[in-house]
Chains A and B, each alone.
Chain A
Amino acid sequence: MNALEIDDVTVRYRRELAVDGVSLAVPQGRTVGLVGESGSGKSSIANAVVGLVRPASGDIRVGGASVVGRGAAVTQARRRTQLIFQDPFSALDPLMPVGASIAEATRATGRRWSREAKAARVRELLGQVHIDPARADELPAAFSGGQRQRITIARALAGEPSVLIADEVTSALDVSVQGAVLNLLRELQRDLGLSILFISHNLAVVRYISDEICVMRHGRIVEAGETEALLRDPADGYTRELLRAVPVLGRRMEFEDA
């Protein structure tokens, strides 16, 4: 059973073709990595899934229900997805206490929450991402970058999604903090049975967290497969180029063909 199905989706901005007939599926409880360079169309796919951009053609289904277009059923289905952003500094309203930001996101569940239930839920979510629940009334400025990224993850979880879209969530973070955020995502996936579409340009990070990998270039998927198999034996020339460009600790970079 696929939690998220992207079916021959095309996204156009005015004349420019950002996504060109992409199909991919995130199976229930798995992490699919989407790797590619800037401008390859990765983020357009994320925006299309959560409804911030409308595909020119194709269909996107969450739990079997289409999330393209309008209507109550679409809104209902769309609420099953949540997005985590790249920059933890712009992802939180600087004037809103972090607890209030998380509470606001509970709307996405489509249920009515009493004040007490909401407060309890905020405390529970903060605990889940290892932030002291007593700090719910503090403003984002009181938290470090890594903590803020964990708070945005808590906010995404507040919508009780079945699919999480993580769009370059570690690229703005220091490596020490990056590890903690990656560990947290894995832990949440295991505990909550989430399905994750993990988007990044960092092949090593995508490899670490993903069960399957899709490589994207110029709006198309050039190669896809199980992580180990794909990286061991890349078929596409671009995938090989990408692999060669990843710097390896202690190994001198060779530039003969660059």
Chain B
Amino acid sequence: MAASKRSRLRTPTAVVALVGAVALAAVALLGPAVWGSTADTTTVADRMLGPSAAHPFGTDELGRDLFARVMVAARLSLVLTLGATAITMAGGVVLGLVASVLPRVARRLVTGFMDILLAFPWLLLVLFFSAIWGASAVGAMLAIGFAGVPSIARLVYTMSSSLSGRDFVRAARVAGVGPLGVLGRHVLPNIRGPLLVNTAATASVTLLSFAGLSFLGLGVQAPDYDWGRLLREGIARIYLNPMAAIGPGLAIVLAGLVFTLASEALASRRGHGLRTIGRLAKAAAGIPSGDVEPSAPERARPVAEVRGLRVAFPDGDGGLVERVRGVDLTVAPGETVGIVGESGSGKSLTAMALAGLLAPPAVVTAAARTFDGIDLSRPLSRADAARVGAGLGMIFQDPLTSLNPALTIGRQLTEVPEVHLGMSRAQARERATEALRVVSIPEPERRLRRYPHEFSGGMRQRAMIGMALTASPRLLIADEPTTALDVTVQRQVMAVLRRAQRDSGAAIVFISHDIALVSAFCDRVVVMKDGLVVEELDAGRIRQDAQHPYTRALVACLPDMSSDRSRPLPVIAGDGSTA
């Protein structure tokens, strides 16, 4: 924790922001003492001078040095900015947090009111409030401060409401922690990060608003002056002495920049800079690409094949983590291959690489990588890309995220036939209807006009399978297709998948963490662990044939309908997390 904080402070942005903030604070603190007397000395002889060595920004109509006045004005400008920012943030946090714990009716009222305020242009609110509190420095501070409250309150309300649905908040409530305790102990610490970022961003906007208000004559009144007032006075003489306007303008820009950089530095994460990308490219070049011979050409041509597959990802510190470490996998036409393994075993990555679907930041290398005879390790020609696109169907775990919620099912099912197969719209529609019929969706013509959210989970997954079928695929990759479904629905979806395979003759790569399910559906089972294939087995003979201790442990530790209930379950050894 401490280490990551330190390295976050060491980014160039953070260093510049820090230096800038210290400089601003120093000017604000010492400015009036150092330049105060110069700024207030009227010298009639030196009226309205242009910039010179003695007066870098020139002088005003009373002969006062403008540079000194800009420096002195820093204190008032910054104090007002910070004051208004404090009002905005405090008001927003209190209102947002309180709104999130109110009973339903009161919460509706408060959030409704916030929404109404948000509907007004922000400037209108500021002008409205300054009419209430009058055209003075304090009035402007209150006006700008309060005008910002609704948007921050809305942000805080949204963030804390999403947190209050989380289990750890429920757990605290079950343990008897009151609403205020939950806010203080759990909600506030968890929204602190975004709030800090927003504070810095708000400060920069507030600074500009003050300059704007004072420029309009609504803010700071004579004889006091801030940067906005100096700007207003200077702009009148911009043709005679440009520096009279540019000087205070520069001060505003620089201070605004410091606030923006601070917010940037707070928001930034490690490992996204240019340097990391450079190191990544170098590391990718250095990855061993495996030394396995490509498979002999005389064998029956597989649908898809990888040899010596390695997949790596950036680790955030400029290095690479290898998640697949040399995997060979061959899928014959019409075959059903299961890949089983626990989270992080590399099973999904292997399948994605098999389909050529991994994009940067993933670094994929292999001795050979082919799909339907097309070499995937080289850039594809247009025709080859279309063949891969049409020959491949993907089915993911959560169809709600892989189907586009804004398009009808029909629109999404006709895309592949139209784009990849060059069919007319009517033909494509016919194809889509047929696909839905194959996956046992009743009334396919009517359902094509529906949106994904109007389907149940099992029906969405069947539509997804239907979508994969529209392409007349040679290979279907099903990545945990039933994990989000109930067992009875799972059985229906598996039945549909089996029938689709029989009709299309496609090969299937079926990925799951459930070795029983994989063995019940596939011909051949590949067991993966830590990015390596530990064993390949005939699906029907896993219990008898499994040699590798990991496979045997996987089988043993899975409770089934015949496990001995009087004995503890075996636990996989060599796993640091199990005692």
Within 8 A of B (CB), among A84-108: 85-87, 90-96, 101, 104-105, 107-108
Q: Which residue of A lies closest to B493 (CB)?
A: A258
Q: A180 CB to closest chain B CB, in angstroms?
A: 5
Task: Give the distance in Å from the alpha carbon of A144 to the alpha carbon of B558 in the complex.
Answer: 19
Whether A179 contacts B494 in the complex (CB less than 8 A), given A85-B170, A155-B171, A248-B516, comes out as no
Interface centre among B492, B521, B557, B575 (most CB of A within 10 A): B557
**Residue numbers in A under 8 Å from B565 (CB-CB):** 207-209, 227
Asked if A246 and B487 sit within 8 Å, CB to CB, the answer is: yes
The residues of B that contact A144 with a CB separation of less than 8 Å are: 576-577
B568 — which chain A residues lie within 8 A by C-beta? 183, 186-187
Q: Does A25 contact B (CB under 8 A)?
A: no
For the complex, count residues of A whose C-beta is within 8 A of B.
71
Q: Is B539 an interface residue (CB 8 A)?
A: yes
Shortest distance in angstroms between A2's beta carbon and chain B's nearest beta carbon? 21
Least distance between A238 CB and chain B CB atoms (Å): 8
Does the CB pair A146–B488 fall under 8 Å? no
Is the C-beta of A242 less than 8 angstroms from some C-beta in chain B? yes
Q: Which residues 549-579 of B have a CB within 8 angstroms of A?
A: 553-555, 557-561, 563, 565, 568-572, 575-579
Interface flag for A177 (CB, 8 Å): yes
B171 with A246: CB separation less than 8 A = no
Contact B168 A174 (CB under 8 A): no
Is A245 part of the contact surface with B, judged by Cβ < 8 Å? yes
Is B542 engaged at the interface, CB distance under 8 Å to the other chain? yes
Q: Which residue of B lies closest to A241 (CB)?
A: B488
Are A247 and B520 in contact (CB-based, < 8 A)?
yes
Q: Which segment of A16-24, A56-64, A113-121, A197-205 sits at the interface?
A: A197-205
| A158–B171 CA distance with the chains assembled, in angstroms | 12
* Residue of B487, B557, B570 touching A201 (CB-CB under 8 A): B487
Residues of B near A201 (CB, < 8 A) are: 486-487
Bound together, the chains give a CA A145 to CA B487 distance in angstroms of 24
Contact across chains for A96 and B185 when beta carbons are under 8 A apart: yes
Shortest Cβ gap from A16 to chain B (Å): 15
In the assembly, what is the distance between CA of A50 and CA of B171, in Å?
Answer: 10
1/0 contact string of B533-545 vs chain A (CB within 8 Å): 0000001111100
Contacts A146-B578, A252-B520; is A178 near B557 (CB within 8 Å)?
Answer: yes
Which of B168, B521, B570, B571 is the one whose CB lies under 8 Å from A91?
B168
In the complex the two chains form, is B578's CB within 8 Å of A177's CB?
yes
User: Is B569 within 8 A of A208, CB to CB?
Assistant: yes
Q: Is B378 an interface residue (CB 8 A)?
A: no
A135 to B291, alpha carbons, bound, how many Å?
44
Distance to closest chain A CB from B497 (angstroms): 9
Are B539 and A245 in contact, CB atoms less than 8 angstroms apart? no
Asked whether any CB of chain B lies closer than 8 Å to the CB of A253, the reply is yes
A79 contacts B by Cβ under 8 Å: yes
Inter-subunit contact B488/A183 (CB<8 Å): no
Least distance between B81 CB and chain A CB atoms (Å): 30
Closest to B163 in A: A93
Query: Which of B173, B494, B578, B579 is the one whose CB lies under 8 Å from A255?
Result: B494
Hey, which chain B residues are within 8 Å of A90, CB to CB?
Answer: 166-168
Task: Name the residue of chain B whose CB is nearest to the CB of A238.
Answer: B488
Cα distance A109–B492 in the bound complex, in angstroms: 47
Select A249's contact among B174, B457, B513, B516, beta carbons within 8 Å.
B516
Q: Cα distance A241–B487 when bound, in Å?
A: 9
| Distance of A227 Cα from B564 Cα, bound (Å) | 13
| B517 close to A (CB within 8 Å) | yes
Q: B519 at interface (Cβ–Cβ under 8 A)?
A: yes
B561 and A250 contacting across the interface, CB-CB below 8 Å: no
| Residues of B within 8 A of A (CB-CB), count | 63
Report the Cα distance A177→B559, complex, angstroms.
12
Docked-complex contact B174 and A204, CB < 8 angstroms:
no
Q: Is A255's CB under 8 angstroms from B342's CB?
A: no
Residues of B within 8 A of A183 (CB): 568-569, 571
> Is B515 in the interface zone, CB < 8 Å from A?
yes
Q: Is B490 an interface residue (CB 8 A)?
A: yes
Query: Is A203 within 8 A of B487, CB to CB?
Result: yes
Which residues of B (1-28) have their CB < 8 Å from a CB of A?
1
The answer to the question of B491 belonging to the interface, with a C-beta cut-off of 8 Å to chain A, is: yes
The answer, among B177, B342, B540, B560, for a CB contact under 8 Å with A174, is B342
Across the interface, name the chain B residue whose C-beta is closest to A161. B174
Judging by beta carbons under 8 Å apart, are B569 and A83 in contact? no
Residue in B closest to A228 when the chains form the complex, CB atoms: B565
Q: By the criterion CB–CB under 8 Å, are A180 and B571 in contact?
A: yes
> Does A10 make an interface contact (CB < 8 A)?
no
Report B148-183 residues with CB < 8 Å from chain A CB: 166-168, 170-177
Point out the residue from A147, A242, A249, A250 that lies within 8 Å of B487, measured CB to CB.
A242
Whether A130 lies near B579 (C-beta < 8 A) is yes
A251 B520 Cβ-Cβ under 8 A = yes
Q: Mark A224-258, 1 if CB is under 8 A from B, else 0.
A: 00010001000000000111111111111101001
Query: What 1/0 flags go to B53-71 for Cβ under 8 Å of A?
Result: 0000000000000000000
**Contact residues in B for A186 (Cβ distance below 8 Å):** 568
Tell me the minimal C-beta distance from A47 to chain B in angstroms: 9
Chain A residues whose C-beta falls within 8 Å of the C-beta of B172 in the assembled complex: 93, 104
B190 in contact (CB, < 8 A): yes
CB-CB contacts below 8 Å: A23-66 with B:
37-38, 50-52
Which residues of the partner chain B approach A248 to less than 8 Å between Cβ atoms? 516, 520, 560-561
A104 and B175 form a contact (CB under 8 A)? yes
Known: A208-B569, A250-B543. A101 touches B168 (CB 8 A): yes
Q: Which residue of A lies closest to B193 (CB)?
A: A95
Q: Is B402 close to A, CB under 8 A?
A: no
Q: Is the CB of A247 within 8 A of B186?
A: no
Whether A104 lies near B167 (C-beta < 8 A) is no
Q: Is A162 an interface residue (CB 8 A)?
A: no
Q: Which of B186, B495, B557 touches A176 (beta carbons < 8 Å)?
A: B557
A258 touches B174 (CB 8 A): no
CB pair A244 B174 closer than 8 Å:
no
Minimal beta-carbon separation of B54 from chain A (angstroms):
56
Q: How distant is the Cα of A51 from the Cα of B542 in the complex, in angstroms?
A: 46
A188 touches B (CB below 8 Å): no
Are B563 and A175 interface neighbours, CB within 8 A? no
Minimum CB distance partner of B523 in chain A: A252
**A82 contacts partner chain B, Cβ-Cβ < 8 Å:** yes
Q: In this assembly, does B372 line the interface, its C-beta being within 8 Å of a C-beta of chain A?
A: no
A-B contact pairs, 5 of them (CB 8 A): A91-B167, A179-B569, A205-B559, A246-B487, A249-B543
A residues with a Cβ closer than 8 A to B are 37-38, 50-52, 75, 79, 82-83, 85-87, 90-96, 101, 104-105, 107-108, 110, 130, 139, 144-147, 152, 155, 158-159, 174-180, 182-183, 186-187, 201-205, 207-209, 227, 231, 241-253, 255, 258
Top 4 closest A-B pairs, CB basis?
A255-B495, A179-B569, A37-B486, A258-B495
Given contacts A145-B343, A175-B558, A245-B490, 7 further A-B contacts (CB under 8 A): A93-B190, A174-B343, A179-B569, A204-B563, A208-B563, A249-B519, A252-B539
